[in-house]
Structure 1
Amino acid sequence: MENAKDYYKVLGVSKTATPDEIKKAFRRLAMKYHPDKNKGDRAAEERFKEINEAYAVLSDPEKKKQYDTFGSSEFNRRYTQEDIFRNFDFGDIFQEFGIGGKGGARAWRVSFGGRPGGVGSFDDLISQIFSQGTGGVGEGYEKADRFASARPGEDITLEIPLSPREMSEGCEKRLAFDAGGLEERISVKIPPGVGPGKKIRVAGKGGVGAGGIRGDLYLVVRPQVDSRFRVNGLDLEIDQPISFSSACLGGEIEVPTAFGGSVRLKIPPGTGPGKKLRIKGKGLPDGKGGSGNQYVRLMVDVPKRLTVAQKELVLKLQNEGL
């Protein structure tokens, strides 16, 4: 299949289609390209693959959101076939086609990920259906049925808050969580340079399934920054007060960073309120070896109370036209 395709056009629905409309369109097309009606037809086989791929994305709220946000080309660069069909329930498809009941469908989900029964990908699975038809059960289905009682548990997704330094330099985190009734305590190494929203997979630490087989744990990185900072994409922003004299004459200030410590910045003479200064590379990692920046918004500090001497000086400035 092509890497980039319009899943809405594949199913013949609009981008505003409801979940029910998407499901109805999928069922109609799936029955049209039913393996029993198109046995050995390569064109129908390819169309059937496209239909299922489109439905696997558009029927999943999170994948649909990502697809709508990034577009087809970028989505298919971010998501592999395994990602697209992960946790996709083949039950409806196989039950309609009369293949092995619900247990058999779940067994095929195991086969897709782990290759028992010789099925290594969704393409392999569909090819077997079209070559064998759905009226009888071939060797692949027999093997799949044997695995039906040993299916993995559900995957678990958790957010993991990380400071900018932890995201940039990497760290080790100790986590405690409920894995479907099982109290789990693990230590996870976070690689350096992880970006916001990055998923870190910990194999075999998800929910417990039949036969004791466990799903996977996915940790989604969430930036955790000091309340003084604002997060804007990969950039961090902070407000820094300066005196009226520094705004007029220029000077130097110490500015804290989200990584700890501070840096010295020069204030150019004649700086107006709201001017932003950049500290390059002190933002959040982008997951590709780069990072955002820190921006310092200068705020002129106007005192509410003046001493007698200060008031006299301000009056002199006022008389001079300042």
Structure 2
Amino acid sequence: MAQKDFYAVIGVSSSATADEIKKQYRRLAKQYHPDTNKGDAKAAERFKEISEAYNVLGDAEKRKQYDEMRRLGAFDPFASRGPRPGGARAGGAAGGAAGGAYSQSGPRMEEFDIGGLGGLGDLFGSIFGGGRQQRPSGPEQGQSVETTLEVPFKVAALGGKVPITLDLNEECGTCNGSGAAKGASLSVCTECGGRGQISFGQGGFAVNRPCPACLGKGRIPSEKCAACQGAGANRTTKKVLINVPGGTESGSKIRLKGQGGRGVRGGPNGDILITFQVKPDPDYERDGLDVILRQRINLAQATLGSKVSVLTLDDKTITITLPAGTPSGKRFRVRGQGIEKDGQRGDLLVEIQLAVPESLTAEQRKLMEQFAKAAGLEY
């Protein structure tokens, strides 16, 4: 399992402030965003990696938990899978197949069970692929899913619905999660002794992980369930329509209770935690609750003044009057046409940008030369 140093992924030090992390994330997200790197699989993968890292480091509580794991030395617990000096292999031939379960006869190692750390254990599992470590026997919550959802700018600003497809591991309906075929017998797993977990040594810790022989169940069937091949769970997809609140910003989150994977052995369904990533828009830009619209005009409009029609976020057409001599960069405020959130509503700021033609017709060039001469300009 490859280690993930989220600080290195973002490109900041572990002492970076929240603002520094956010600024660096935005810079990288803009650089590698799929919309600006169409067809570039490497850029898309890099964008996913950046988003995953910021999902942890951008959340104060998750970052605290992540830093604690690094302090405990649990950052790369699987770098060394062989026996430590003086250690004896455990589990016989089955242990050799697993490649790393062992006991220690030297200095006592502190057992580090990620299943007993609550939120820290969940975070550890999301980073290193670990999970609940004690073999469950009663009802258990279904899989909770944490994902990033890209949202169009206008949907994020005004609110709306966006579909998302999730991959879930759900209890096999044929064997009810046992992994055994109908009528098959179950025997105690010789690899883990029925515990459902084995230990790997790292530094002063023994980190518990699900047993690879029994897949954390503690029992091995005489015949595997054909539907799930003994895993006790199947990979399924679930389509969910996500309600995006108006005024949503990148990094904001919502939790959908009970919308995740089905509960195990009658347990409650898992949750879905969505982190929003707002796509950049070619025309609009957000500034708090205000929205900036860059409107291109020509030289004649700027010089003589004119009426200009612009579109608001909700696609209404409004007309603004430009005075003669309007400079490029000048902003005109349209009250109440920005983003609405928590009972407040921003404005639409129409920023004028002077469009210079790349080429002129013969008549246009003649008139422009006359204008230059009248103004005493050399060209």
More helix as a share of residues: 1
More strand as a share of residues: 2
Point out which structure has higher relative CO (alpha carbons under 8 A, 6+ apart): 2
